[in-house]
Amino acid sequence: QEAHAAEMERTFIAIKPDGVQRALISEIISRFERKGFKLVAIKIVIPSKGFAEKHYHDLKERPFFNGLCDFLSSGPVLAMVWEGEGVIKYGRKLIGATDPQKSEPGTIRGDLAVVVGRNIIHGSDGPETAKDEINLWFKPEELVSYTSNTEKWVY
């Protein structure tokens, strides 16, 4: 059971300052929770600008990089780690396309956001990014390992 938990796929999900300010935390968490994914770490933080730049280092050449980092560090962010079979890819599916104008209805951004600069949520885009982002935002001891009873019904 322990080994099973250690091997399970994990992703980093963050509700950005717009999602927190708009009181969408419970709405967003409930979508991951109802799907059957398991919450293994959570905290609310106001990242510094430097921290935001680290998080978005891949985008540093993009024209919107500075504004994006200002935005991410402008208020509380809800940082989470979610665990489960296929959670990285399916998490992105729950979130929807980057530009809310292109996200399908039924997705988080499709249902709840309008413009790309205020798209309320972030999710890791692959296994390497997931690992890096979890390590950036969380200390190992902030992640909990537990057996959820629902797992035997949904996995």
How far is it, in rounded angstroms, from Cα 114 to Cα 117? 9
Task: Pick one of 42, 116, 131, 136: the residue that binds ligand RTP (CB under 6 A).
Answer: 116
Binding site residue list: 16, 64, 92, 98, 109, 119
Site stretch for ligand RTP (CB under 6 A), options 29-37, 40-48, 83-91, 113-121: 113-121
The verdict on 68 binding ligand RTP (CB under 6 A) reads: yes
Rounded to 5°, the CA angle 51-53-58 comes to 130
The verdict on 117 binding ligand RTP (CB under 6 A) reads: yes
Is 55 labeled as catalytic in the residue annotation?
Answer: no
* HSE, side-chain direction, 13 A CA sphere, residue 87: 28
**Among the listed residues 124, 129, 97, the one whose alpha carbon sits nearest the alpha carbon of residue 113:** 97
Q: Which residues bind ligand RTP (CB under 6 A)?
A: 59, 64, 68, 98, 116-117, 119, 122-123, 125
